[in-house]
Chain A
Amino acid sequence: MNEIIDGFVQAFQLIISLDPEVIEITARSLLISLAATAVASLVAIPLGGLIHFREFGGKRGLITIIQTLYALPTVVAGLFVFLLLSRAGPLGFLGLLFTPTGMVIGQAVLIIPVLAGMTLVALSGVKKTISDEIVALGATQTQAILTIIKEARFAIIGGIILGFGRAISEVGAAMIIGGNIRGYTRVLTTAIALETSMGNIALSIALGIILLGIAMVVTVALFLVQER
Chain B
Amino acid sequence: MRELPRRDFLKLTASALLTAAAAAAAAPVAWAEKFYREPPWRRKKPYWGFCVDIEKCIGCGRCVDACKTENDVPREPFYVRTWVERYIIRKDNEIKIDSPNGGMDGYPPVENPETVAKSFFVPKLCNLCENSPCVQVCPVGATFKTEDGVVLIDRKYCIGCRYCIQACPYGTRYFHPILQVADKCSVCYHRLRRGKVTACVEACPTGARMVGDLSDPQSNVSKFRENNKVQTLKANMGTEPKLVYKGLDKEVR
A binds B: no
Chain A contact residues, CB within 8 Å of chain B: none
Chain B contact residues, CB within 8 Å of chain A: none
